[in-house]
Amino acid sequence: MQKHSSPTMVRDLTEGPVVPLLLQFAFPLFVSNALQAIYNLVDMVVVGNYIGKAGMSAVSIGGDILHLLTFVAMGFSSAGQVIIARAVGAGRMDEVRKTIGTMFTFLLGASLAIALVCFCLRDSILHWLNTPSASWDFAMDYLVTCTCGLVFIYGYNIVSAILRGMGDSRRPFMFIAIAAVLNTVLDIWFVKYVGLAVFGAALATVIGQGVSFLFALIYLYRRKESFGFDFKPASFAIDPVTFRRLLSLGIPMAIQSAAISFSKIVLMSWINLFDVTYSALAGIFNKVNTMCGVISQSFTTAGSSMTGQNLGAKKYGRVNRILITILAIGVGIALCFTGVMILWPDAVYGIFTPDPEVLGVAGVLTLPIILNFYGSATRSASFSLINGSGHSKLNLAVAIIDGVISRMGLAALLGFALKLDCFGFWMGDALAGFMPFVIGGTFYLSGKWKE
């Protein structure tokens, strides 16, 4: 007889004070995402300090490509998390079991196919991105090595989506903490002491990701009885009904992730038309914004699960309180980050590299970075509502308007038409970050999220 939810695996997010519950759920996500961002950041910092701007350029290019390759994992794991959260809220545990099996088979298969295609097209990809000759070999090392570890990224996202959909945000934090520590130690060892250069940084990242996935999978397996998934081969069969539901919600989310990542890849190719110094600066811009986005991602993930469960329970007033709380916290933190960038910009940029040529022009990043703080703060509330309500068409609209039309259009207008060059590209990227708030706010005022 199938066992159902247990207090250790399924968490009720429809009861209790909103603010403490949101913070309690979001804080482990924040620390988890921060650790994940830090172990991605470590590659740039170590390479920038021990190899130089050519290595920074390579990590920036390879990192952007890798982020694009994860669009399927990001989109469909987020969709699976929402489906699981709504099913838990409604007490449909059989739907949870089918979603888990379908996600594993589909996403792990997709990761292998994407990695194979990327490996075959590796030379063409670097050519398309106008990779500077000074960083070509380094970029190739980083791209190939990280592509080989793509299956670990997908696997970790699957397990994390399952746990977070059930209201458990602490275990994903534990797994990524292990990976972050391991990656940091190996990064310094491989690059500084063994002399493996950028390949060493990529190898450390892959090892960290592999260990993180392994620990997450073992944890899920040992608690399989609490949600009725027995890990037998038959349980991994793709359920047609569940797969259609996953596709319906996941395709727009995946397109959204891909569109934004693709637009950043295009911006990177434009920036690479200048020289390796600006290519290195692009890496700093992306890493600082990634750290800023950690808070947005944390509250989006927590808010999506809380919104999904409360919509499943038809507690609409509670959804309002969740969204207002997320927005207020996000803007408050953005104000603090703004103060840091205004008072100590040189200290922030100096973390990444001692190269005087890079630091001499780094001030061009300050205003776009500050604008991105507020774009991230407003996005979290918008996506909590959009993702939590499972509104697939709206996700697709956000993907097209934010990821393609706004981001690339504004960057091209400011960078090429107004001749602001790289500053224009980064400003266009920052301004486009407010589009989800415009779309999400319109959706909220329409009241259709209650449907």
Count of residues in the chain = 451
Whether 208 and 183 have beta carbons less than 8 Å apart is answered as yes
Cα–Cα distance between 127 and 93 in angstroms, integer?
Answer: 48
Q: Which pLDDT does position 80 carry in this prediction? A: 86
Residue type, 331: V
Separation between Cα atoms, residue 334 and residue 224, nearest integer Å: 40
CB 382 within 8 A of CB 440: yes
Query: What are the CB-based long-range contacts (under 8 Å, 24+) for 323-326?
Result: 323/381, 323/384, 323/385, 323/444, 324/381, 325/18, 325/19, 325/22, 326/22, 326/299, 326/380, 326/381, 326/384
Structure tokens at 146: 């990280």
- Write down the pLDDT at residue 8: 41
Query: For 22, what's the count of Cα atoms within 13 Å in the CB-facing half-sphere?
Result: 28
What's the 3-state SS for 239-252?
CHHHHHHHHHHHHH
Answer whether 302's CB lies under 8 Å from 385's CB. no
State residue 5's pLDDT score.
39
Unique residue bearing structure tokens 């999978």: 217
DSSP per residue, 323-351? HHHHHHHHHHHHHHHHHHHHH-HHHHHHT
Rounded Cα distance between 271 and 279, Å, is 6
The angle at the Cα of 252, spanning 246 to 257, to the nearest 5 degrees, equals 110
pLDDT attached to residue 126: 95
Contact 280, 48 (CB under 8 A): yes
Closest CA to 296 of 66, 30, 76: 30
CB atoms within 10 A of CB 404: 18
Average pLDDT by consecutive 10-residue portion of the chain (451 residues)?
40 71 75 70 88 92 88 85 78 79 91 95 95 94 93 88 77 80 91 92 91 87 75 84 87 77 89 91 88 80 83 83 90 92 93 91 94 91 86 75 84 94 94 90 87 75
For helices 71-90 and 93-120, give the axis angle rounded to 10 degrees: 180
Instruction: Give the pLDDT of residue 431.
Output: 93
Distance, CA of 277 to CA of 358 (rounded, Å):
6
Biggest alpha carbon–alpha carbon distance for the chain: 68
**What pLDDT was estimated at residue 10?**
53
Helix spans in 10-148 (H): 18-50, 53-69, 71-90, 93-120, 122-128, 136-148
- How far from chain centre, in Å, is Cα 388? 17
